[in-house]
Amino acid sequence: MTVTSLFSGSSGNAILVRAGNCAALVDAGVSFSRLTQALRSIGESPETLSGILITHEHSDHIAALPQIIKHTDLPLFLSRESAYEIYSQFSRRDEAFAARFASRVRTVEAGKSYACGELVFSPFSLPHDSVCCYGYTIGTEQNETILGVATDLGQMTVQARRALAGCENVILESNHDPELLKNGPYPRVLQDRIRSPYGHLSNQDSAALLQAAVRMRVKNALLFHLSRENNRPELALSCAAEALCALGAQNDVRVSVAAPDTPCFFVTES
């Protein structure tokens, strides 16, 4: 299996996962043209995809959806709640288009396993201020837990820890540095939203979750969804490095940071 981060952060998120002849995106949160360009730069295209796994209905995760529905026949895997929310938004503008969206939807539930071509995946619930938010464990029939993805969560939960700890590779939100957030440009109400238990994970919380996951199985981590305004890659990395040192695991685990809009090869073969 190969995994490539295409876009990361509040301006848009997308991850490409490929196993054999099957490739799927986790989220499509940038314009269709930017997404297509990024896919082409790594030898893929919307036509080579088999499906899209959607974490939740915020625009930084679904911005390309209208054009994807227009230009492809791809199935869209997402929660019933997010599907209904997106359907409602589309139907206010164009009922026929909303019906087209509905025909692509394959609803998925936390704790169950699904297949998209050769990929096998299982959603798990994340605490976030959307109608529903899922992380995913993704793998193949032979190994269902090669990758764990948790991109938007306000706090560590038992479900998230369990799901990620069972995987060898994890893509984990490391959204903000609390000091930069406090002293940064965001209004108070937005700051409160971000640091709430249904907002986004700070570097420290992310490092604690990584620590818990490393105690089990994780060997490779990609810090994801960093805020451009309220974080720095070096701060996120040093928090994770400190957490690993505290476990004496600094030489056993590879940690990197996803670039906001440059493809980043995370898992090259597994």
Q: Are strands 220-224 and 114-116 parallel, antiparallel or unpaired?
A: unpaired
Q: Which stretch binds Zn ion (CB under 5 A): 33-41, 57-65, 75-83, 206-214?
A: 57-65
Query: How big is the CA angle at 206 (ends 205 and 209), to the nearest 5 degrees?
Result: 90
DSSP string across 53-106:
E---SSHHHHTTHHHHHHH----EEE-HHHHHHHHHHHHHH-HHHHHHHHHHEE
> Least distance in Å: CB of 217 to Zn ion?
26
CB of 139 to Zn ion, least distance (A): 23
58 binds Zn ion (CB under 5 A): yes
Q: Which of 60-68, 80-88, 139-147, 238-246 is the region at the interface with Zn ion (rule: CB under 5 A)?
A: 60-68
Question: Residue 66 contacts by C-beta under 8 Å, 6 or more apart in sequence?
Answer: 32, 90, 97
* Strand, helix or coil for residue 140: strand
Pick between residue 145 and residue 157 the one whose CB is nearest to Zn ion: 157
Instruction: Kindly tell me which residue out of 60, 85, 118, 177 binds Zn ion, with binding defined by CB under 5 A.
Output: 60
Q: Taking the complex as a whole, how short is the minimal distance between the CB of residue 133 and Zn ion, in angstroms?
A: 7
CB of 11 to Zn ion, least distance (A): 10
AA letter at 60: D
Map the footprint of Zn ion across residues 145-174, applying CB under 5 A. 152
| Nearest CB to Zn ion, comparing residues 2 and 11 | 11
Cβ count near 173 (within 10 Å): 29
Pick between residue 58 and residue 195 the one whose CB is nearest to Zn ion.
58
Cα–Cα nearest to 103, from 116, 87, 119: 87
Shortest separation between residue 5's beta carbon and Zn ion, angstroms: 14
- CA distances to 164, 254, 256 from 168, rounded to whole Å, are 8, 11, 14
Which residue in 150, 103, 89 sits closest to 124, CA to CA? 150
Count residues binding Zn ion (CB under 5 A).
3
Spatial distance between the Cα atoms of 213 and 38, rounded to a whole number of angstroms: 30
Q: How far is the CB of 30 from Zn ion (least distance, A)?
A: 12
Nearer to Zn ion, 60 or 118 (CB): 60
Report the residue number whose CB is nearest to Zn ion: 58
Spatial separation of the C-alpha atoms in residues 270 and 195, rounded to whole Å:
35
Where in 68-97 is the site for Zn ion (CB under 5 A)?
A: none
Q: Closer to Zn ion at the Cβ: 152 or 205?
A: 152
Task: Choose the stretch contacting Zn ion; rule: CB under 5 A; options: 55-63, 114-122, 211-219, 245-253.
Answer: 55-63
The nearest distance, CB 141 to Zn ion, in angstroms, is: 30
What sign for the dihedral angle of Cα 1, 32, 137, 230? Answer: positive
CB nearer Zn ion, residue 44 or residue 60: 60
Which residue, 152 or 177, has its beta carbon nearer to Zn ion? 152
Nearer to Zn ion, 7 or 120 (CB): 7
Please report, as ranges, the residues that interact with Zn ion according to CB under 5 A: 58, 60, 152
